[in-house]
Amino acid sequence: KVGKTGEVIACDISEEMICSAKKQRAYDNVTYLHSPVTTIPVNDNYFDTVMCFQVFPHFSERSKALKEIYRVLKQDGVLWIVHLASKETIHKRHREAGDVVISHNIPEEAEIREVLSQQKFSVEEILDTSDYYSLKAIKNSM
């Protein structure tokens, strides 16, 4: 999707996940960063798109994470929150797993819209199907 001149930066708080990703495929234009989402080591206004792939419920400091994502996105940049399961399925899996993840859920639509709005994002669409959940939000000017 990014072509030969584009760049992908994969970022995860888990060093194990970064190592696993590196083993999957090696591309010249992919950089892997072991870093929390609350302190992404790139310049302001760096990315056209940020994708939170199957991780958003696990952000313990959502406001701080979204503030950091806002910082690294270019004006009118896109934030995607994507899961390969419905919101209901994710919540069920986390309840069944118990322990730490039992409360790691995707907020209800009104709440997630409010949280994103507080960080100056406008939600363009939310899709919650039996196969996936996706949310698209745009960075607005402050």
Rounded CA separation 66/111 (Å): 14
The alpha carbon of 86 is separated from its chain's Cα centroid by a whole number of angstroms, namely: 16
- pLDDT per position as a tens digit, 18-67: 999 888 877 788 999 999 999 999 999 999 999 999 999 999 899 999 99
| Residues recorded for the chain | 142
Angle at which helix 62-72 crosses helix 109-118, to 10 degrees, equals 50
pTM over 0.85: yes
Q: What is the dihedral of CA 120, 89, 132, 111, to 10 degrees?
A: -20
